[in-house]
Amino acid sequence: MEKIAELGVSVPRGHWPVDPQEDVEISKDRIWVDGCFDFAHHGHAGAMLQARRLGKELLVGIHSDEEIMDNKGPTVMTLKERVAAVDACRWSTKSVPHAPYVTSLPWISHYGCQYVVHGDDVTSDSSGEDCYRYVKAAGRFLVVKRTPGISTTDLVGRMLLCTKSHFVHSLIRVLSGEEGSGSPEERTKAGEEMKQRIRDYATDATGLQPGPEVQSWVGSTAAMEDDASEEMGSYRTMVTGRAPRQGQRIIYVDGGFDLFSSGHIEFLRQVVIAEEQIGRKNGWYEQTEMDYGPAYIVAGVHDDEVINHWKGVNYPIMNIFERGLCVLQCRYINSVIFSAPFSPSKAYLTNLPYGIPDAVYHGPTSFMPLTYDPYIAAKELGIYQEIGNHDFQNVNAGEIVQRILKSREMYEERQKVKGEKAAGEEAVRRREALEQEAVALESERAGNR
């Protein structure tokens, strides 16, 4: 590769990481963002949403593991896992892996992007220089607001320090300003900002028109945590989006979706593929008037206390608001139900806002130590389906935490650089002890099944 001091890194013709290999005509409607995108948290999605609203196409450059290590420190997720997360974002048009850490004019020009968009925080390379110095000097840099309250650094800190302060007891009460920290006025303001973020993320691929619908299920704690209840519960509409269209099969999936990883993303993608195959078999794609897919996928997201009841330690690492936004930004879903029960009972399934689902899918990832089968009702209704093994099936919140613990010293150094409190030996030993207790609990529950 040729180094161009004033412009950044160039690439010889025919060696660009993704097509096209020929230069694309530069357009103001084609926007570039880039980054590490380590963990698929909603802050990344928020940046992509804001960037997408500035144009008609969004290209997302993703730095390699090696470049990130040289400039920032170790990644938690591999490049392949990070690309999968970017590809899953509804507002991303194309992902470009191996993008240079210092944003390069030859790269953005080759892919036809007039502007580069980044948050209002400063990003520096290993020498302490601004990563966007070349595009800023060329007048091709636009600033959007950084999403507050979430970052990869913050999530790593929750794991290392084993905190629970991020937990949300009742999302509905937080959104209404009845729960949370601060004065009543501060809680009300925070709740309104959170509701606006949910509305923003419930948009289509343009980021401007209605997209997924958003509901919240209201039921008792017992109905949320176990399979003993046939409580019907009730639904509150949070965002009115695109309802199911003629002929679409209603598909239900659920989960904690903690640290919304490639394991979750690939499961959802495989559900879409499975339903496309059914649609093809049934002649869906032979009907030229159908400009939408054959399935309407509804994703239920469990409450913090429900997940912690089963998994312990300080899981979930992300609270329900954060996890719900991660699911909401995913291109493979059409509707989100916050606070969905852990076990979808017959009463719950038969009273979904869209009617009884045509299928309930579950994947190969097993993270919760259970004493019962949460999908008995779906099996009895004859609508239970499974997604088979896939490349990311073992990537879940527990696996990600273990990656952090195994490389703790490197991540702690990264935290110090970011100005975050180091975990310390005692905190890490506490985390490891709690993880061991969780494993023992899982073994005990398995023996009692």
Q: What is the pLDDT of residues 146-156, one digit of tens each?
A: 887 777 778 88
322 contacts 150 by C-beta, under 8 angstroms: yes
For residue 142, what is the enclosing H or E element?
Answer: strand 141-144
Q: How far apart are CA 279 and CA 290, in angstroms?
A: 11
- The predicted pLDDT at position 430 comes to 62
Closest to 126 (Cα-Cα) out of 80, 66, 38: 66
Listed as ranges, residues in the chain with pLDDT below 50 are 1-5, 420-422, 446, 448-449
Closest to 72 (Cα-Cα) out of 118, 123, 32: 123
- The predicted pLDDT at position 446 comes to 47
Q: How far apart are CA 99 and CA 142, in angstroms?
A: 18
Q: How far apart are CA 113 and CA 135, in angstroms?
A: 11
188 contacts 177 by C-beta, under 8 angstroms: yes
- Report the phi/psi class of residue 328: left, alpha or beta, with left for phi > 0 and alpha for psi in -120 to 50: alpha
Amino acid identity of 399?
A: E
- Whether the CA torsion 177, 180, 183, 186 is positive or negative: it is negative
For residue 211, what is the enclosing H or E element?
Answer: none
φ/ψ of 50, rounded to 5, equals -60, -40
Report residue 111 as tokens: 């892919």
Q: What is the pLDDT of residues 324-374, one digit of tens each?
A: 999 999 999 999 999 999 999 999 999 999 999 999 999 875 555 566 789
- The predicted pLDDT at position 4 comes to 39
Residue with tokens 């948009």: 203
Cα 342 to Cα 97, 174, 306, 313, distances in angstroms: 37, 21, 7, 18
Helix residue ranges, H only, 335-407 = 346-350, 376-380, 397-406
Residue with tokens 């920032």: 72
Structure pTM?
A: 0.89
